Structure 1
């Protein structure tokens, strides 16, 4: 090989990392190379199907206790901009990818993803056959795993992982919640090129921070809310003393059964103030109503999950990140006259999507509760609305960080709920999905100019 060829090879190739192993508790072993911090970490193995938004995924506090596998093969190619981060530091246990890009190219990038991961001491491995890994998790279910760059003995790691703690029963929300109340009043300057100025602030919202993503709180600001975030276990009496127009329950990690300090307070808040919950917040409302929560086989994580809005029949492509879900029948018995005459529950909620009915149950604590959204992939519950008190919730993430903007309307719905409107969910999601984005305004301007030009040509032809 010539000297020039060797220089080109050095300049376009990255050095091979130290050997690393991922071992699952069922004995499955996956080999790779270290590509960030070195170490040994334990967590629940999961996978995310998003094609972009890796920084938002990595910094989402809902991933506390988990080792994330990205299904898209190359991660890090557009680098890192810290204003896209969802928290000050990653809460995940480890990262598994096929290929980690070391030379990003993007005008907003300030550093490479490998450098960011090393800076925050995140153990990561590349070179793994992520297709095989994802198929294994999909077929065999989420389970404990160990990711190590320091011990490459499979038998040793298998013994360690089988002795490690499960996230089931662990209150991970407490580990990522804020320590004291604070006013959230920050919008990223670098997003101004794509996002319009926020609406005038007309609502005071208290947000339970169970691991809240910054972009969710930002969307509340943009919808016209002033936001005060409080710790996960703040007494309801303290929240009501702040005299909020509404209470928001945030996303968060882990087993909702273990977050008793939140759902017991939510039980006291329901009926006294409008409440909106997202993801773990949705589960907190369900737990407050006495519902049962199930652990999903491998969870929902990614930006391409289809959900039907039973009220409109529209399908939303949603961003999701959860490993637990509501068992809708546990909320109460069906009310036949409000459920198309049907009297019995269905285990697969896609029955209601086919029937085009939003069924209603009678709950012992809070009266009538309607199923509003259903996951079209597996027929699980994705949203509810309480009909006798002002409260609603969804299992997915509507703020699109990362993900599509189909569910943006839910922030508008929350403001309408605080206005006291019964039709707060009756929103044209096709129009609202562009609300707040400058490209939506630009498209409208271009369309308007085109219409005026066409009118002018028509007049001239006359």
Structure 2
């Protein structure tokens, strides 16, 4: 309907009324059209950031209201593994890939018994998945697990805002749609910094673990025979990391996050593993204090939060990253082998490598001073794995560097049997380039001094069968 104006230039009341009636009629038709699609009837939802940035969309999970640190994951697949990764405790996760849920949910791929994230943000949610392994749709899973989710927003704009202005607290609601009310709530929400979230997702008692998902047997060979008794600290461990250890021959005993080192040593393990987990590493005091007691007595391997535990046990300092590393496309150089890995990552804090000690020039290409800007790509450009002298554990080598921002991705204690990486080598979700790190841990337990110097191109294919008779 065309609007008509009076002689004074104002739209007449009759025209406004008629236009409103026409708009209401059109809205009714739109609602009927949507109701006839897989989207069905939609309920409004709001995502509000602590700086006042607001995104309006539609609920696509359980109803409710949650607060948490807003972050984003750049993986093209693996949304179920992301949603069930305990490392996302306390966070609202944004998926950058535009459509999420199109291959549904297979419960064998979950990484924990219960999702720990606070909420989920997507551009478009698929309610009609197509995959032979799927047992339910993602919205059904979200509703079953009581996870609040929103769709229909411009995730590109949201991610750019986070990149520009950094991580911050946000509120996601399907119940309260008043911006002023939501702003008060998000202002009162707790920060991720200073909170020990590892204790909220760790198991409560010691358990053995030997699970290998049967539905993955079409692609992955049976585990190697058990050779090593490994005690794994559960700080919020992804189940697939434990599976990765089982596949290379580890007989696993999994213990709570704060288990005393004396109790672990009494089990007489061949090695100790420190797992991934959520939150601020500085707050997980009990774990890194145990790590300090274990290093030098038994081979130790740490992943993600486990890397940070070894770093803190060594007297290192942590920094809060502007927006963290989350996704399956993070390039990392192994300074020992010179090879580059595309890695899966999920962390918001990182080690300040110079805080471990002063450089040893004769082991660092003649360089005596750390770079002023802290960018560790200085070493990747020169193909040098620098070594510092640490007051607690002797020589520590920088082994891995993030090629996107020059942050530390791995260290090796040269005078102790210990090493760690900041990323997730089991590739759930993500590429398999870093699978060799499980092999490296076995080589460390075997006493191989050059355990990190592995051809990743060969190792990443080990154990894959893809439908062969052996599967």
* TM-score, normalisation: structure 2: 0.91
8 A Cα contact 1:434 1:440, kept in partner: no
Moved over 3 A (4+): 6-13, 439-442
Find 1:430's aligned residue among 457, 465, 470. Answer: 457
User: In the alignment, what sits opposite 2:260?
Assistant: 235
Q: Alpha-carbon deviation of 1:410?
A: 0.2
Partner of 1:186: 211
The residue that corresponds to 1:56 in the other structure is 81
2:431 to 385, 400, 404: 404
- Is 1:267 the counterpart of 2:284? The answer is no
Of residues 207-216 and 153-162 in structure 1, the stretch that sits farther from structure 2 once superposed is 153-162
Counterpart secondary structure, 2:433: coil
Deviation at 1:14, TM superposition (A): 1.5
Please say if 1:157 is aligned against 2:182.
yes
SS in 1 for 2:440: helix
**Paired residue for 1:375?**
402
Aligned to 1:214: 239
TM-score (norm 1): 0.93
Give the number of equivalent residue pairs: 438
- Taking the aligned partners of 1:105 and 1:257, their CA distance within structure 2 comes to 43
For residues 17 and 429 of structure 1, the distance between their equivalents in structure 2, rounded to whole angstroms, comes to 48
- 1:438 is paired with a residue of what secondary structure? coil
CA drift of 1:402 comes to: 0.5
CA distance in 2 between counterparts of 1:440 and 1:380 reads 39
Are the equivalent residues in 2 in contact too, given 1:180–1:231 (CA < 8 A)? Answer: yes
Work out the CA distance in 1 between the residues paired with 2:33 and 2:141.
Answer: 26
Question: d(CA) in 1 for partners of 2:347 and 2:239?
Answer: 17
Whether the aligned pair in 2 keeps the contact of 1:62 and 1:321 (CA below 8 Å) is: yes
Kindly state the Cα deviation for residue 8 of structure 1 after the two structures are TM-superposed: 9.4
1:279/1:322 contact within 8 Å kept: yes
Query: 229, 233, 253: which is aligned to 1:204?
Result: 229
* Residue in structure 2 matching 1:356, options 368, 373, 383: 383
2:160 corresponds to:
135
C-alpha separation in 1, matches of 2:468 and 2:72? 35
CA drift of 1:439 comes to 3.5
Unaligned runs of 5+ in 1: 1-5, 443-462
- For 2:208 and 2:337, locate their aligned partners in 1 and report how far apart those are by CA, in whole Å: 36
Contiguous gaps of at least 5 residues in structure 2: 1-30
Is the counterpart of residue 107 in structure 1 residue 132 in structure 2? yes
What is the alpha-carbon distance in structure 2 between the residues aligned to residue 291 and residue 81 of structure 1?
40
1:311 partner SS: coil
- Equivalent position of 1:342 in the other structure: 367
- Shift in Å at residue 128 of structure 1? 1.1
Question: Which residue is equivalent to 1:416?
Answer: 443
